[in-house]
Structure 1
Amino acid sequence: MSTEIPVLEILPELPASRVLNALRAAFTELAEGKAAQPPQTVTLLPGGGDVIAYQAVQGDAYGVKVSPYLPQPGGKAVVTAWTLLLSTRTGRPLLLCDAGALTVERTAATSVLAVDELARPDAATLAVIGSGPVARAHLRYARAVRDFTSVRMYSPSLTASATPEDTAAVPEGVTVTGSAEEAVAGADVVLLCTSAARPVIDVTGLRPGAVVTSISTNAPRAHEIDPRALAAVDVYGDHRPTVTTTAGEMTIAAEQGLWSAADLRGDLPELLTGACPAPTGDRPVFFRSVGLGIEDVAIARLLLAR
């Protein structure tokens, strides 16, 4: 019997609808106890850096993504990611995948799955903060769940010093603004897609019912909004046990007595099964994701099926 397994170093294109449906099924199975999501683990490396392991079980597959963060003397840190899928029936490896592109897709799709559950059906104005691959992926998925008539984007790389390559990467139908404040003014949905370790917008100044999503970065205790703002918004996360102990703004706010894990209104498994309250509608909504193994496994299974 052959011992060869598929090794993917380039991610094939996957339709947004298929990715969103795969994640919707995975989080629903997690709510029903048909999937397992252990906490992520961080191994600190002697001399600096770390390796984060994201594990999960869905169906007859166990998956683990390992993501090293390797600081380099006088240069940019090396960040890689690899996902391994194993059969829980035979114990044999099924797939090894360079998870760089996979992480971009599952991060964006998870944010937008939350948008689909939390945003008003008639949401028409979208703001994207960031312009890199993660931001463009967020925009692609967002357009799959709402018919946005106005899309604005802000990134420092798209200011007056932008190169022709920077401006050429701006998706069609997107208006570039001169500031984050201009981009988010009056927006129904705001997608924060930065590597910032400090707040990039004032979430409390958004219109009632506006949905803001935020992602993780490698910076310690990174947060794209002010931790003090959590008390003034409806807060949701990707997975309750993980996000409340990992997300920078949540841990900081909890330490300062400004917010607690009990204030989290719901997570994706609960939203998808109706086990948590909907947004109040009278203040902004904040959704925070930290990245989960179940997301990696769901998309790796899609890749395996191809």
Structure 2
Amino acid sequence: MLTVRAVTTPHVPEQAVLAALRDAFADLSRGTSSAPGQFAVGLPGGGDVIHYPAVRPGAGIYAVKVSPYPPRPSGGALVTAWTMLVSLSTGQPLALLDASGLTAERTAATTVLAADLLLPSDDARTAAIVGYGRPGRAHARYLRLVRPGMAGRAFSRSRPQSVDDGVQAVAGVREAVAGADLVMLCTSVAGDVPDPLIWPRARSSPRSRPTPPTTAAELVQAAASGWDAAAVRGDLAGLVAGHAPRPGGQRQVYFRSVGPGTEDAAVARAAYEYDTDTTDTTEEQP
């Protein structure tokens, strides 16, 4: 008999998310875990299912996040995400987690973890958040935790009447980014287009080697416009481990925060350990 935890409303404290991600990227830098990259399976009539696999032997798990995007007659796509954890010692499932909320958490935490390593230690004062839906709010929350002294300005097309403490709502993108030390693009197309405010003078520091620059849409587009992939200086795993050079502050740096399954594995494992709102189901295993 095996108890499989179906976590429908997973929660994990922000500090635990950050710690889990630091450990995950340190494992990647040591070569003790692997995340072979994303792959998609097309669906009849349009849409697809994206898979994010990862193996973390140190944590004793294999994980895969599955994100179906089935088409709907009314237009648009139905977006869901589920992560399954499998024990490497028994080969049996440990948990099935609703990963919709966890995805926002791991993306925001990874961005802020990278920003903390890429920004000057004490000179960064202002952050701009372009797009202030659920991902944008998560980015602001993690930034306050890691860099509590930074002020935030947020622009959203929905024009929120109020935003979180420490973040000022502004009327346009230019007002948000003017003089900002950090610009976080949290829109639905942030990963698909190059940003003209960043690219002309930017050095790239991608998330992890398996993803950009050949599969990241905005890096492919930038390369077609003359950007050289040799400008990539390192990845987050190298920054966390101290192997990748940190920028000197003279040039802008671009970091892509749409990433590998190792993040989903790390945060799902943390939620499996910390979450208290779970439903246990017992199933007979062969």
What is the CA deviation profile of residues 6-51 of structure 1, one whole-angstrom value per residue up to 9, with x for unaligned ones?
Answer: 1111122x22222111101100111101111112111111210011
2:75 is matched with: 75
Q: Tell me the residue number matched to 1:199.
A: none
Task: Report the alpha carbon displacement of residue 229 of structure 1 after superposing the two structures with TM.
Answer: 5.4
Instruction: Give the whole-Å Cα distance in 2 for the aligned partners of 1:78 and 1:136.
Output: 22
Unpaired runs of 5+ in structure 1?
Answer: 159-165, 197-214, 217-221
Work out the CA distance in 2 between the residues paired with 1:187 and 1:257: 25
Name the counterpart of 2:231: 263
In structure 1, what residue type is equivalent to 2:64? V
Match of 1:223 in 2: 193
* Paired position in structure 1 for 2:149: 148
Q: Is the 8 A contact 2:198 2:252 kept in 1?
A: no
**Which residue in the other structure is 2:283 paired with?**
none
Deviates more, 1:242-251 or 1:294-303: 242-251
One-letter code aligned to 1:5: V
SS in 2 for 1:77: coil
TM-score between the two structures when normalised by the length of structure 1: 0.84
Structure 1 range deviating more: 259-268 or 58-67: 259-268
Q: Could you say which residue in structure 1 is the equivalent of 2:32?
A: 34
| CA distance in structure 1 between the partners assigned to 2:38 and 2:148 by the alignment | 35
Aligned-residue offset at 1:88 = 0.8
Greater RCO, CA 8 A, separation 6+: 2
CA shift in 2, pair 1:149/1:141, >3 Å: closer
- Is residue 121–residue 146 contact of structure 1 (8 Å, CA) maintained in 2? no
Give the Cα–Cα distance (whole angstroms) in 2 for the partners of residues 111 and 149 of structure 1.
15
Q: Which residue of 1 aligns with 2:158?
A: 157
Shift of 1:231: 5.1
Worse overlay, 46-55 or 269-278: 269-278
Describe the superposition over 1:119-142 as per-residue Cα deviations: whole angstroms up to 9, x where unpaired.
Answer: 112212111111111000000111
Identity %: 48
Distance in 2, Cα, partners of 1:46 & 1:146: 46
Is the 8 Å Cα contact of residues 194 and 222 (structure 2) preserved in structure 1? no
* Pair 293,253 (structure 1): closer, same or farther in 2 beyond 3 Å: same
Match of 1:207 in 2: none
Partner of 1:129: 130
Aligned with 1:195 (options 188, 194, 219) = 188
Counterpart check, 1:179 vs 2:172: yes
Q: Quick check: 2:234–2:244 contact (8 Å CA) kept in 1?
A: yes
**For 1:258 and 1:241, how far apart are their aligned partners in 2?**
22
SS of residue matched to 1:6: strand
Map Cα deviations across residues 201-229 of structure 1 (whole Å, 9 max, x no partner): xxxxxxxxxxxxxx53xxxxx12514x95
Alignment coverage as a number of residue pairs: 271
Contact preservation (8 Å) 2:36, 2:210? no
